[in-house]
Amino acid sequence: MTEHEAPRVTVLGLGRMGTAIAGAYLAAGYRTTVWNRTAARGDALAAQGAVRAADVAEAVAAGPLLVVPLLDPATVRRTLEPAAPLLAGRTLVSLANGTLEQARDLAAWAAGHGAHHLAGAMMALPHTIGAPEAFFFFSGSESAFEEHRTALEVMATGHYLGADPAAAETHSLAVLGTGYAALTGFLHAAALLETYGTGPERFAPLAAAWLRDMAAFLPHLAKEAASGSYADAASTIDLNRPAVDTLIAASTERGVDPRVHHPLKALLDRRSADGYGDDSFSSLYELLKPARPRP
């Protein structure tokens, strides 16, 4: 592929993620234009063949696809503001975590300047960019996602989640939330086991083995939650209720703060008191989902 024929991409923002992303495009043979507020962060990429833009306008004008991994959506907008008239007809992919309101504001601003906008949320680390385990969530313009899918998947597997620009961020938070609960549970358990002389490093592989099993259980849990059918339970509310009670009691006895498990205890107690003790653990979903699902 000659340089003239190579597909073009601009990466605006060369922090940890942007540097990895620009590197992935260079490795994939893209003519990669880069810009960063602190220009020196582009030195290594320039040495690898990236084209350095003198300013944001030159970076935007360099091609049809702008990938922008900056701090947050407000920074994306502030950075692009001077080049806003050049955005018309180009695809702007903002890869910046922020509030849902910021995501929607940025999308409206980009659309106001005639850009096709995709909000992205990166489920990846700098070193996993381009690796099979990396995945990104996208929402916004579906036609932009389809048109640029090959280029987007140089960074990570892409999942398109609908037109609402906040959907990518919300899905990212949902995945993080799943992890937060598991990681907090791990840290609490590690503190408890420390009192038995089992250090966190010895416990970690045991917890990891269990989490792998739990991950394999998710589709089953999801099927029950989606169908609202909890009768054929592998693990019931009333089976888990005493287990959580004992975990809390064991923690209290050993001087370890058990409060991380209080919300789960409250849900299990309520479900049991409502007469659903024989239902599957997954029936907690009935207490968590909105009374009337939004359309």
Ligand X SMILES: NC(=O)c1ccc[n+]([C@@H]2O[C@H](COP(=O)([O-])OP(=O)(O)OC[C@H]3O[C@@H](n4cnc5c(N)ncnc54)[C@H](OP(=O)(O)O)[C@@H]3O)[C@@H](O)[C@H]2O)c1
Residues that bind ligand X (CB under 6 A): 13-18, 36-38, 41, 69-72, 75, 79, 95-97, 122, 124-126
State in angstroms the smallest separation of the CB of 64 from ligand X: 22
User: Which of 111, 123 has the CB closer to ligand X?
Assistant: 123
Distances (CA, A) of 1 to 4, 29, 30, 31, 118: 8, 8, 10, 11, 28
Nearer Cβ to ligand X (14/225): 14
Backbone angles phi, psi at 84, to 5 degrees: -55, -40
CB of 40 to ligand X, least distance (A): 9
Output the smallest distance, CB 127 to ligand X, in A.
9
Interhelix angle 100-112/73-80, nearest 10 degrees: 20
- Nearer to ligand X by Cβ, of 97 and 141: the residue is 97
Task: Please report how close the Cβ of residue 171 comes to ligand X at its closest, in angstroms.
Answer: 13
| Residue 105 in tokens | 């504001």
Beta bridge partners of 65: 91
CB of 20 to ligand X, least distance (A): 8
Return the structure tokens found at 225.
């939650």
Q: What's the CA gap between 62 and 52, in Å, rounded?
A: 10
- Measured from the CB atom, the residue of 67 and 122 that comes closer to ligand X is 122
Report CA-CA distances (Å) from 164 to 24, 43, 204: 28, 37, 39
Distance CA 162, CA 167 (A): 7
Cβ-proximal residue to ligand X, closest one:
15
Q: Considering beta carbons, is residue 32 or 79 the nearer one to ligand X?
A: 79
